[in-house]
A and B are shown apart, each in its own frame.
Chain A
Amino acid sequence: MSDKTLVPPPHEVPVVFTRAMLDWLSWLEPMAKEELTERHYAGLVDAARANSEYFRLLVRDPEALQARTRTDKDIFFNPDAGLPRAERELAATAVSRLNGCIYCASVHARFSATYSKRGADVERLLADGTGVDLGERWNAIVAAAVALTETPLAFGPEHVDRLRAVGLDDLAISDVIHAAAFFNWANRLMLSLGEPALPAA
């Protein structure tokens, strides 16, 4: 007999992009905590992620999850020079806004706002979309993220030139590319395996 999808419990769907904390409800059966072995914990990387439905679903393929998570962490958390964390998160937010991942956008808009101290600008990106004017440095990063998100890809040397013109060095430009590329991975998982929900009041 074939497997069946889950029907999420009654919940309120977020209908706007927001920096508020959201829940995520899976459409497929996550692994149960008591089923997790050492191999699965290696896949989760952080043991605390066993509390998340999303990660307990992805850990059904533990090797793929582990490599995904370690790729993610180096792209966003590696503190060795390059693009400031705030702007790596800005690129992640812009990609999520364009693809329409309300959950991903909420998480990374919070990070971007926290690290940049530009909450009002992040809020405008969420409200008005990737065409918003945030000043040339952020506009260049958002435009690069957009060009890397469109299919077929629209990213070219002109985007590199624009990033360099606002002061990004080669490593920082590579960080923009990786942050944007990675969210085209993350958004697709989050959007297609479950749905966001407003936390129960």
Chain B
Amino acid sequence: MTDVIDLLVGIRPGTPLDAIRARRPEARAQAQASYAALFDPADPAGIAPAERLAVATFVVAIHGATDVAAHYRGRLAGLDAALADAIDAAAMAAAGKGPYGRFPAGPLSAEDAPGPAWSADAATAAAVGPRLGAAFAHMHLLVFHPRDAAADHLQALLDAGWSTTDVVTLSQIASFVAFQLRAVAGLRALATRL
């Protein structure tokens, strides 16, 4: 299978950036294995393939990482075009600037940077359903203000019908994609100076 980070950065075999990535062969292979485990799992268990791609599309889109978002959105649109359209609208409303959030009360409170939580409006909730609506609200927290996370946020996911194991996988999807789009942006910047 094509290495997705290579694809997204535009790395061709034999180029300097290809050689640099080859020096960390396991990181390269296992980033790809992470992508495969999350988006093409042998057994999707509690999270349907379209749901996995929907969550990733939303996470990347609210980061403002347009090119990477197109990759996930394109895969999702192949499965559920209406859902991809609904995410475009939701992501535009959910975009922001991070990281922000509060610290445990004490000396770090001076650094508190409170900011908004996001939840699906009526139109989005109707278009994506309560399960994905709850997932997207949590994804917004993970992208912009993960230090505000509390057990109640996980309970909201469980109440929306996700299992404990599903929540682990949803969290991995958001966190992996947060890594992947940063690796892509970083390597692209490096490529301009090689």
Contact = CB atoms under 8 A, between A and B. Distances in A.
Contacts of A6: 151
B142 to A, nearest CB: 5
A166 interface: no
Interface of A: 2-7, 13-17, 27-29, 57-58, 60-61, 63-68, 70-71, 73-75, 78, 80-82, 98-102, 129, 148-153, 155-157, 159-161, 164, 170-171, 173-178, 180-182, 184-189, 191-193
Given A57-B168, A152-B65, A160 B193 contact: yes
Given A67-B34, A78-B27, A191 B146 contact: yes
B12 interface: no
Contacts of B25: 74
B41 A188 contact: no
Closest 8 CB pairs of A and B: A15-B106, A177-B186, A100-B147, A181-B182, A74-B26, A185-B179, A152-B64, A74-B27
Label chain A's interface by main secondary structure.
helix
Contacts of A129: 111
B26 A73 contact: yes
B125 interface: no
28 contacts: A3-B163, A15-B107, A60-B169, A61-B165, A63-B42, A64-B38, A65-B172, A67-B34, A70-B30, A71-B26, A73-B26, A82-B24, A149-B99, A152-B64, A153-B182, A153-B185, A157-B189, A160-B193, A174-B24, A178-B24, A178-B27, A178-B183, A178-B186, A181-B186, A188-B174, A191-B147, A192-B141, A193-B168
Interface of B: 16, 20-21, 23-27, 29-31, 33-34, 36-38, 41-42, 63-65, 96-99, 101, 103-108, 111, 138, 141-144, 146-147, 149-155, 158-159, 161, 163-165, 167-169, 171-172, 174-176, 178-183, 185-187, 189-190, 192-194
Contacts of B141: 192
